[in-house]
Structure 1
Amino acid sequence: MDEQLTIGELARRTGVATSALRYWEELGLLPPPARVSGQRRYPPSAVGLVGLILMLQDVGFTLREAKAFVDSRSLDDDGWRELYERKLAELDQRIARAQVARTAIAHGLACPHEKIFECPNFAKGIEAILAGGTLKEVHEQIHSD
């Protein structure tokens, strides 16, 4: 019989707290383990599964998305590709917003006014945001004048 891991051993091998492992089990990310005298016993493959979940979290997947990905592994289709494509599009949007935010902050630091609140561009930006504009629209409007 293969070596079985207690929840403490799985936690030590993966660096994930036992409380998180129990929560992931509750969410269905980890399959229910066998029990020996009431204690959880995980197969050695659980280490790789926990590693997969950690990797998915590191690249931006929520636990719900990670569960869908893990579930898609057991299917014979390419459902995981759709999940990756959606996450890639979401990351592209976040990167674009972050780049606009970075540009706005860099412009703020380069502003010649000693006090940012005295800058007419800053005031225009605030007005445009309050009028429902996005940071990107505000930046384009200010710098197109």
Structure 2
Amino acid sequence: MIRDDYLTIGQLAERSGVATSALRFYETKGLIASLRTNGNQRRYLPSMLRRIALIQVAQSVGFTLEEIIHELSGLPMSKTATKRDWDRVARKWQKDLDRKMEKIQSLKDNLSGCIGCGCLSMKKCHLFNPDDELHEQGQKAVHPRYCYQH
């Protein structure tokens, strides 16, 4: 049964600031869910607003849609997620954000050297080959004599 507080797709779009086409896309990916009226119109629980906000924030800080889908798959769709549910997602994403921030800091710290060098050598580049894995395989992007950093 559809309650009076369920939202139409237009209301959900207006309140979330997300286009109706994006909401339909999210639904096809299992990020949000709707019920259908007898006339086949979508109706959404108000709790979908939280899920949409989380999707938007997660995308804005660099999480992929696949990462978001994976995490939200563990949250209840038919009721409002509990604080414990959200805390679990937050702890997981905190670790992921820490790793992303380390990569961003490394990029920030090494970017001018790589741009100055111009080669982005797979042999020495700390951005693309931080553990020198490709060098072990004998691969590199540019011959070392053309690299000013080597």
Out of 95, 101, 110, which is 1:95 matched to? Answer: 101
Out of 3, 9, 12, which is 1:10 matched to? Answer: 12
**Aligned partners of 2:13 and 2:23 also within 8 Å:** yes
CA distance in structure 2 between the partners assigned to 1:27 and 1:5 by the alignment: 19
Call closer, same or farther: CA 1:69–1:38 in 2, change over 3 Å: same
Coordinate RMSD, CA, aligned = 3.6
**Aligned partners of 1:2 and 1:43 also within 8 Å:** no
Displacement of 1:103 in angstroms is: 2.9
1:64 aligns with 2:69: no
Structure whose residues are more often helix by fraction = 1
Give 3-state SS (helix, strand or coil) of 2:42's partner: strand
Identity %: 32
TM-score (norm 2): 0.59
Residue of structure 2 in register with 1:35 after alignment: 37
TM-score (norm 1): 0.61
**Aligned partners of 2:9 and 2:20 also within 8 Å:** yes
1:71-90 superposed matches below 5 A: 71-74=73-76, 81=88, 84-85=91-92, 87-90=93-96
For 1:52-102, what per-residue CA distance to the aligned partner results, in whole angstroms no more than 9, with x for missing partners? Answer: 222332343222222222221239x98x848854x5455444433333333
CA distance in structure 1 between the partners assigned to 2:110 and 2:59 by the alignment: 29
**Aligned partners of 1:3 and 1:44 also within 8 Å:** yes
**Aligned partners of 2:34 and 2:45 also within 8 Å:** no
Which of these two proteins has the greater Rg computed from alpha carbons?
1
